[in-house]
Amino acid sequence: MAQTCVRQTFILFGMTILCCLLVRGRADDYSWRRPHAGLQANGPVDLQWQPEPFTMRTGNVLRYIDFRNGNDQNDGKTPASAWKHHPWDTNAADSLRSRARQDHVDTYIFKRGVIYRGLLEARESGTDRSPIILTSSPEWGTGDAVLAGSEKIAGPWAKVTSLAQLGFPRHVNGVIWQVSLPSGKIPMLAWEVGPRGEWQRLKLARDPNWQDSDPYRPGINWWRWTSITKGWPEMAATDPAHLKRSYSLEGATIWTDRPGNNFAWSTPAPTVIRKHDRQRGTVRFLINHP
């Protein structure tokens, strides 16, 4: 992870701590100001990724964080007494934040081989001479220390064997799996993590079951609205060719962009279908969700 300046709320998605995260250091310390690529010695001209080797840097006051087995009631001064949360975490106790401020903690060491899940809000800043450092130690844990803004789905998962009555082709029975999510959770991206830490992205069940045929235009195979009726906070959109159904789509998640610039979404976003006119092929959905 490159050295960078953090001044606002941020979510970290699967970010591996390979270098120190410095909060407000000197401008010439920022790794993004230096090249991390080189040219091949022979053959066609091509750039090769050449990252700087990891070097652990620490400040004066260290605290250890183990999201898997730590406890916020510990003092955090040793790996054996590690905290569970970083003080910037929105789930951290107020007492933990107070202790970190009182002790002037400037270095947070995350255990390797552990995935830290949460939202960090950087409400404090270091100085040029004393930056706030987020790092990991080669001597504590194995593998990578990962900060992830994702949430773990505990399951249980179950095969769906009764999709035919919903209009799905019969051959998908036993192929689609389902899991119940907490109320208000809309899945956007999902990955499966294997027993050895390997991962692969899962395809969410969708209609149409489009393929990523063009990486620069992922929506090229999506359906198209035939008409839009403006409204607030709901909007109606019609597609008779695909949305005339014998069953209701109310409660389903729909991904749509801003057809005809009728509402200010710069990229496709998920929203919940509130009403579905099955005869006309029209759905109504919130335009300010989620």
pLDDT (0 to 100) of residue 130: 86
Residues 142 and 164 in one domain: no
Residues 192 and 262 in one domain: no
pLDDT: which is higher, 60 or 165: 60
267-290 residue pLDDT tens: 777 888 999 999 999 999 887 544
**Dihedral sign for Cα atoms in the order 77, 78, 79, 82:** negative
Residues 92 and 125 in one domain: yes
Residue 199, pLDDT above cutoff 60 = yes
203-235 residue pLDDT tens: 887 888 777 778 787 778 889 899 988 877 888
pLDDT (0 to 100) of residue 259: 53
State how beta strands 107-112 and 62-65 pair.
Answer: parallel
Q: What is the mean pLDDT of residues 64-84?
A: 97
| Of residues 269, 274, 268, the one with CA closest to residue 286 | 274
Query: What is the Cα–Cα distance from 147 to 115, expressed in whole angstroms?
Result: 6
Residues 142 and 271 in one domain: no
Residues 182 and 143 in one domain: no
The residues with which 89 forms a beta bridge, in sequence order, are 120
Residues 162 and 144 in one domain: no
Residues 137 and 179 in one domain: no
What total number of domains does the chain contain? 3
Residues 27 and 91 in one domain: yes
List CB contacts of 42: < 8 A, sequence separation 6 or more: none
2-40 residue pLDDT tens: 333 333 333 333 444 444 454 444 555 667 778 888 877
The model's pTM is 0.65
Helix (H) or strand (E) holding 253: strand 253-256
Q: What residues make up the domain containing 273?
A: 227-286
- Assess contact for 3 and 36: CB atoms under 8 A: no
Residues 180 and 264 in one domain: no
Strands, E assignment, 113-247: 115-117, 119-121, 132-141, 146-148, 158-159, 177-178, 191-193, 199-201, 227-229, 234-238
Q: Do you know the residue count of the chain?
A: 290
